[in-house]
Amino acid sequence: MNALPRRPLVPAAFVAALSVLLYRAPARADDAIAYKFENYREEDGRITVETQSASVDADIGSLTHLKLTDTVDAVSGATPSGEPAPPGSDQVALTEIHERRKAWSGDLSRQVGDVNIDFGFADSRESDYVSEGWSVNALADFNQKNTTVRLGIAGASDRVEVFFLPEYLPKHTGDAILGVTQLLGPRTFITFNVSLGRATGYLAEPHKLVEKGIEVFQGVYLEEAFGENSPNTRNKESAFLSLNHAFASVGGAVEASYRLYSDSYGIVSNMGSLSWIQHLGPDVLLEPTIRLSEQTAARFYFYNLDTTPIIPIHVPMGTGPYYSSDFRLSSMEDTAYGLKVSWKPRQWMTLDVAFEQFVMVGRDGVTPASAYPRAGISTVGARFQW
């Protein structure tokens, strides 16, 4: 839904892991080490994110598996501050960001009869944001393993540094998912998940501003910048449906998915994606993908507060009035398309490379086009297993 994820990255990864997995890894998997490099680069000198991650998979006995991942992100470049474009210009105000994130995560899974239980833990740290998260997933097989039911919960406890107070402010999130995967035939299965989430505490983006003309003398106004003020509670719901079908005659498969999302901010979004997975011989795999999404605006999104009667406060603690000029909360749509290539030159080695182009466009007719990014995402990775 957003071009650059709202921080932190690790709890978001937990939620994604809970909600979009289509397959369950077997209790016993190959021992392996893997490395991945990803470059997210917006056009026109905007945000660049370079991510490097390394992971280790290892079996512990015949029924238990452990995975450890270490991740480092380097974020730099310019991003919209939230302040409107100067008079006579259509270029929104930008602010420079330079940040480094370090994170690690671990997953311990065990097969108990027909049930696979997975425990996850993660820690993410940067100069002004600390996050600690956990997750528990249980998958149970029924109907001669033609039906798999998923139940999962996840939580995170964060501490956020803000410019208006000397101490960090707390943020807590919790998510739950219930889903089912059903085989419809030897080459077809569907997955349906429903998830709920709740976040409390300081939920605003500490680097985003709003601007308001304040009357200092009668008829004399001075433009002043304030920190955005989002509600201190956010509830969200989503439903996810996917269909996978293999075409054995051509060595390919199609995956189509749809997600409906809504939250207490007033945002409603729809996202659909379509992928084709094509085998080129026994060692090469091609996967072109296209994804379309659109969302409505948050009730408290305003490009320019001067058009409203709202008077901002200097200490935004999540109680009214609410206001934000963060373009990621505006009415918008985006398109992404990409291609991933995987090659297995040896039985114990897998190499992959991927590129995705991302374009975001505003829909409210007010927020300038310069607020919305166009970005390319390049990924290379290697996995060695034994």
**Domain residue spans in the chain?**
9-385
> What is the identity of the amino acid at 284?
V
Question: 299: left (phi > 0), else alpha (psi -120 to 50), else beta?
Answer: alpha
How many beta carbons lie within 10 A of that of residue 26, not counting itself?
11
HEC string of 49-90?
EEEEEEEEEEEECCCEEEEEEEEEEEEEEEEECCCCCCCCCC
Question: Which pLDDT score is estimated for 3?
Answer: 36
Tell me the sheet residues that pair with 178. Answer: 151, 194
Q: Residue 369 is encoded by which pair of tokens?
A: 């086009």
- Report the Cα–Cα distance between both ends of the chain, in Å, rounded: 38
Dist CA 262 CA 270 (whole Å): 9
Question: Which pLDDT score is estimated for 293?
Answer: 98
pLDDT above 50: residue 8? no
Question: Which DSSP state fits 95?
Answer: E
DSSP string, 129-175: EEEEEEEEEEEEEETTTTEEEEEEEEEEEEEE--TT-SS-EEEEEEE
- The model's pTM is 0.89
**CATH class of segment(s) 9-385:** mainly beta
Classify the C-alpha dihedral 305-306-309-315 as positive or negative. Answer: positive
Q: Residue 188 is encoded by which pair of tokens?
A: 């077809």
Mean predicted confidence (pLDDT) in 30-58: 96
pLDDT above 70: residue 17? no
Burial of 13 (0-12, 13-18, 19+ CB in 10 A): buried
Least confident of 16-20, 243-247, 248-252: 16-20
Question: Which DSSP state fits 92?
Answer: -
pLDDT above 80: residue 233? yes
> Where is 285: in which H helix or E strand?
strand 284-295
Tell me the sheet residues that pair with 287. Answer: 340
pLDDT above 50: residue 117? yes
Share of the chain above pLDDT 90, in %: 84
> What is the identity of the amino acid at 332?
M
Q: Residue 47 is encoded by which pair of tokens?
A: 């945000």
Per-residue pLDDT band at 18 (split at 50, 70, 90) = very low
- Residue 6: alpha-carbon gap to chain centroid: 8
Mean predicted confidence (pLDDT) in 41-55: 96
